Amino acid sequence: MNIISGGVTAAKGFKASGVHCGIRKNKLKKDLALIYSETKANVAAVYTTNAVKGAPLTVTKNHIADGYASAIICNSGNANTCNANGIEIAEQMSALLGDALKIDPCDVVVASTGVIGQPLDIEPIKNGIPSLVESLDENGGLSAAEGIMTTDTKAKEVAVEFEVGGKVCKIGGIAKGSGMIHPNMATMLVFITTDCNISSQMLQKALSSDIQSTFNMVSIDGDTSTNDMVCVLANGMAGNEEITEDNDDFKTFMKTLNTVNINLCRKIAGDGEGATKLLECKVSGAQSDEIAKTVAKSVICSSLTKAAMFGADANWGRVLCAIGYSKAPVDVNKIDVSFKSAKGEIPVCKNGAGIEFSEEKAKEILLEEVIEILIDLNSGDCSSTAWGCDLTYEYVKINGDYRT
């Protein structure tokens, strides 16, 4: 397994593009993205559990009910959520793209991200689709990644090469996500492509399973978005024997998908709105996976812990506090905590109680851009990791006038 370049166009048969069509006022920012498979692909997706859902999710769910898709179109700058004609607009986007690509509109995955409750005009999209299709390129992954950004400060893409059944396969992905991230299925928008030959059923099984330990373990601000979606297209062009059961090939695919998703999780968390640091909470010694996950996510969601990390303050009491209200069945008197970064590691709590440590050394460690919060529950063999970021003044500034 090797990390390679290319993002969503690393796999055979995929092209992508991104353009500015006029949804966003800033002409320097792309606001329309396209991913296209030369052959119809098997598809799997997961969606937000928020009761308020963007119209594109409803349309996409209907479109891919048969397990197939050929293209993904996504606009940024407007979420197409809570709009009276939202379904109509999403269907129009699919129809316009279907006509331009000469494919069935029902083979189009449609997504939107941006402001909620703002009417979405179809005209800019209609006018932008010709150039979007014309710009399709085997090296267009980055362009598509830029087209789905909102408050993101950097494009997020990754690709991995692996081998299944003697055939070289590739998985690539792009993501957007910077704020309103506290998923209960996936996170914001993630689009993944692969040339591995795997059935829709096994693709769905792989995705639904993996998000539990990857995207569901990311939190930026505790807000679950209305438009969260993770979608995977698999066109089978690598030529391996189709994966239709839980065998060794499936396990290899799962491991590779997990690598891609963890990479995207870290990119999303590290680019949280206003963030200066990526936080990784690693819990070990738990009695069960569920306990480990509950503890890790509770700590990563703690506003006080996040604020302490922003200030490079080794306030470990906030970590213990977050563990305590997580309702996870843990023995507080066994908990060890330490902080780690490129500058080293420092234990700050032993058996649920404070120990002497150098505040100066702790400050040095916590001033780094990637901070690990290490928690050992000393009660079992299970572990889990959650990702987040620090809480800064800039987060409030960004969201104080996000719409206006």
Domain residue extents for the chain: 2-270, 278-400
* CATH class (in words) of the domain with range 2-270: alpha beta
The predicted model gives 169-194 an average pLDDT of 78
* Dihedral angle sign, alpha carbons of residues 248, 252, 257, 258: positive
List active site positions: 187
Give residue-wise pLDDT tens across range 326-355: 999 999 999 999 999 999 999 999 999 999
Residue closest to 82 by CA, chosen among 62, 53, 61, 58? 53
Instruction: Please tell me the pTM assigned to this model.
Output: 0.88
Residues 6+ apart with CB under 8 A from 348: 314, 316, 337, 338, 339, 354, 355, 357, 362
Give the model's confidence band at 65: pLDDT under 50 very low, under 70 low, under 90 confident, else very high. very high
Pair 193, 184: CB distance under 8 Å? no
Give residue-wise pLDDT tens across range 256-298: 999 999 999 999 888 877 789 999 999 999 999 999 999 999 9
The predicted model gives 73-84 an average pLDDT of 93
| Helix residue ranges per DSSP H, 37-174 | 55-63, 86-101, 122-134, 141-147
Determine the pLDDT at residue 179. Answer: 55
Determine the pLDDT at residue 252. Answer: 98
Pair 301, 322: CB distance under 8 Å? yes
Helices first, then strands: H and E counts in the chain? 11, 15
Q: Does domain 278-400 have CATH number 3.30.70.3000?
A: no
CA separation for the pair 245, 324 (Å, rounded): 41
Residue closest to 161 by CA, chosen among 3, 50, 319, 369? 3
CA separation for the pair 268, 325 (Å, rounded): 26
